[in-house]
């Protein structure tokens, strides 16, 4: 994303609509461990009002590619996903909310891709803490 373009365009609209609505400058961080320093530099050098952190990749494999699920049971794939969120929380806590915790269920290759709370209660409870 080109923040040098994003912020000025945002500011233009924030000013234009300031009588009608308060616009907040936001960004979604698809956290990846090897990009931690770059992510923090971007966050610290832009005036974000709101940061959404998300998990889109696990072990550098994009979840939507479905390669991630290959050879993994649903239980293993989903636990690994939720544990990666816990790891992100330990490494990177500079955000306001965590995005789409059910992201994994969009791309699963199983007969039932839903995240059933009771099946993953222990790790989901840790994530929600
Ligand atoms: Zn996202």
Average model confidence (pLDDT) for the chain?
A: 95
pLDDT of residue 2: 85
Q: Is the pLDDT of residue 104 over 80?
A: yes
CA 19 to ligand 1 centroid distance, Å: 30
In whole angstroms, how far apart are CA 93 and each of 24, 36, 59, 79, 129? 20, 11, 19, 20, 13
CA 4 to ligand 1 centroid distance, Å: 21
CA dist., res. 114 & res. 43, Å (int): 33
CA 103 to ligand 1 centroid distance, Å: 8
Label residue 11 by pLDDT band (50, 70, 90): very high
Query: Which residues are CB-neighbours of 62 under 8 A, at least 6 positions away?
Result: 56, 68
Q: Is the pLDDT of residue 20 over 90?
A: yes
Q: Is the pLDDT of residue 97 over 90?
A: yes
pLDDT of residue 80: 97
CA 54 to ligand 1 centroid distance, Å: 6
Q: Is the pLDDT of residue 1 over 80?
A: no
CA 128 to ligand 1 centroid distance, Å: 18
CA 85 to ligand 1 centroid distance, Å: 13
Quote the tokens at residue 34.
């090897």
The neighbourhood of ligand 1, an ion, using CB within 5 A, equals: 54
CA 95 to ligand 1 centroid distance, Å: 14
What is the domain partition of the chain in residue ranges?
Answer: 25-128
Q: Is the pLDDT of residue 4 over 90?
A: no
Label residue 3 by pLDDT band (50, 70, 90): confident
CA 31 to ligand 1 centroid distance, Å: 10
**The domain 25-128: what is its CATH number?**
3.20.20.140
CA dist., res. 54 & res. 35, Å (int): 13
Q: What digits encode the pLDDT tens for the residues 53-86?
A: 999 999 999 999 989 999 999 999 999 999 999 9
């Amino acid at each position: 994303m080109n923040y040098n373009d994003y912020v000025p365009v945002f500011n233009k609209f924030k000013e234009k609509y300031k009588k009608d609505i308060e616009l907040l400058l936001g960004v979604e961080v698809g956290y990846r461990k090897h990009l931690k320093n770059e992510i923090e530099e971007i966050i610290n050098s832009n005036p974000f009002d709101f940061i959404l952190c998300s998990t889109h990749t696990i072990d550098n494999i994009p979840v939507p590619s479905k390669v991630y699920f290959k050879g993994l049971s649903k239980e293993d794939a989903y636990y690994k996903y939720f544990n990666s969120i816990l790891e992100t929380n330990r490494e990177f806590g500079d955000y306001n909310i965590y995005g789409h915790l059910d992201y994994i269920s969009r791309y699963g290759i199983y007969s039932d891709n839903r995240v059933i709370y009771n099946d993953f209660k222990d790790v989901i409870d840790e994530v929600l803490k």
